[in-house]
Amino acid sequence: MATEQATGGSPRRTARWLDDRTRLGPVLAAMLHVRIPMTARTFYFGGIALFLFGIQVVTGTLLALYYKPTPEAAYESVQFITSDVSFGWLIRSLHHWAANLMILFVVLHLLRVFFQAAYKFPREVTWVVGCGLLLLTLGFGFTGYLLPWDQRAYWATVVGTEIAGGVPVIGDSLLLLLRGGSDVSGATMSRFFGIHVLVLPLALGGLLAAHLVLVHQLGLANPKKPEPRVRTAEADDEPLRPFFPHYILDEVVAWYVLLAVLVVLASLYPAGLEEPANILDAGHPKPEWYYLAVYEMLKFLPKDIGILAPIVGLGVVIVWPFLDRSPEVLARRRKVVVGGATLIVLALVFLTWRGYVA
């Protein structure tokens, strides 16, 4: 009867019953009951990227139940998933679109943090970890793209690995490491699949946990004024609002909107499948859209410079908080940095567009 009272009553009683047996109440309270500045504007980009990662984990796991990672069977297994498995088309299409949107939102999140100067003291490490998450997300895209083993997948991987093979000094070794041989083959597929479903999820899970802990500990940045190095009474008077449930509710609404977008994309533009990979017919010598800027750049610049430029650029982005020591956060007082970054973003968008229509 006592058990019935504890479990069959209100949710509050159920929570107490669980807390009595886990003692996680204080941990949850510490995680949820924090306060954030009223002026914080995240546009929910980071949370949406997290939501999309969750979708990728769920849909990816379901796809792995049917997918066969060999050149002989991969294409047919993807065809089987899409045509014969119940809701297979939906799961694959959600995985496909969520992957693209995840890259987009991770980049938007990075740009939001950059333009709001939220990478400055004390969030430099959070920024570096976030850059790691961006690289891992791009890695997910690169390794996952090959797996359907159709013409587009195969030739995009040929081009992508060749770009990697052009890196000075280590290019040949890197190419061999990525492909597992001189050509894109079954060996490439094996390692891409292994990296895609084991290495990258574990790495991303670890970095994501670190990123969230840091965000939790440091709180959201105020885009109006820099974080004081010493806490003052004025800083303590800043208007705040609860993270839970107020901010979380906004975040969930954003997730619902993204879910609606995903449903529309999956229904109207389901993930397709081209002809099976044919190593004799270079039908699609083009990488995926998020590598098109680099691909285009290689047409204008000498090969070494075209490959080194994005690597150096990415390195600069990662260590940027340690280069930009100014405490200023307002964009109108960071004209050079904001203007330069805007130009670079516009150039990348232009190159991506050129690569897309080429």
Partner 1 sequence: MAATPAHRLLRLSATALVAAGLWFGLAVTASAEDPSAAPGASASASASASASAVGSVVASPGASPSAEPLVSAPPVPSPIAHPPAGDTNGCFDCHSAVNDKQAEISAAWETSVHAAADVGCADCHGGDPRSDQITVGMSTEAGFLGSPDRTQTVGVCGSCHANVEVMRPYNLPTDQYVKYWSSVHGQRLAIANDTRVAVCTDCHGSHDVRKTSDPNAKVFPLNVPELCAGCHADAKRMEPYGIPTDQFEIYSGSVHGKALLEEQDVRAPSCASCHGSHDAKPPRATEVVEVCGKCHTATQELYEQSRHAQLEQAAPKCWTCHGTHDVSPPGSRLFFHPETPDYECSTCHDLANRTLRLEIDRFANEADRRCDTCHHPDSQIYAQVQGIADALGGAEGAYAAAGLRIEDAARLGMITADAEVGLAQARTSLIQAQAAVHTTKLKLVSDLSTDARIKADEAQAMAIAKVDESTFRRQAMIVVLALIALSVVFLVVIKRQLDRELEGR
Residues of this chain that interact with partner 1 (CB under 8 A) are: 79, 82-83, 89, 241-242, 245-246, 249-250, 252-253, 256-257, 259-260, 263-264, 267-270, 272-273
Question: What would the two tokens of residue 313 be?
Answer: 């650029």
- As measured in angstroms, the least distance from the Cβ of 48 to partner 1 is 15
Backbone angles phi, psi at 276, to 5 degrees: -60, 150
Q: Nearer to partner 1 by C-beta: 264 or 358?
A: 264
- As measured in angstroms, the least distance from the Cβ of 33 to partner 1 is 14
Q: Which residue has the tokens 């939220």?
A: 118
- As measured in angstroms, the least distance from the Cβ of 93 to partner 1 is 9
Q: Nearer to partner 1 by C-beta: 230 or 268?
A: 268
In sequence order, what DSSP letters do the residues of 86-118 get, joined into one string?
Answer: TTHHHHHHHHHHHHHHHHHHHHHHHHHHHHTTT
In sequence order, what DSSP letters do the residues of 64-92 get, joined into one string?
Answer: HTT---STTTHHHHHHHHHHTSTTHHHHH
Question: What would the two tokens of residue 333 be?
Answer: 């007082």
Contacts of 28 (CB under 8 A, 6+ apart): none
CB 281 within 8 A of CB 151: yes
Q: Nearer to partner 1 by C-beta: 217 or 267?
A: 267
Q: Report CA dihedral (239, 111, 335, 311) to the nearest 10 degrees.
A: 140
Q: Nearer to partner 1 by C-beta: 20 or 275?
A: 275
Contacts of 291 (CB under 8 A, 6+ apart): 142, 160, 163
CB 309 within 8 A of CB 316: no
CB 177 within 8 A of CB 102: no
- As measured in angstroms, the least distance from the Cβ of 89 to partner 1 is 8
Q: Nearer to partner 1 by C-beta: 187 or 264?
A: 264
Q: Nearer to partner 1 by C-beta: 77 or 116?
A: 77
- As measured in angstroms, the least distance from the Cβ of 197 to partner 1 is 23
Q: Nearer to partner 1 by C-beta: 206 or 272?
A: 272
- As measured in angstroms, the least distance from the Cβ of 256 to partner 1 is 5
| DSSP 8-class letter at 276 | B
Answer whether the bond into residue 122 is a cis peptide, omega within 30°: yes
The identity of residue 15, as a single letter, is A
- As measured in angstroms, the least distance from the Cβ of 211 to partner 1 is 26
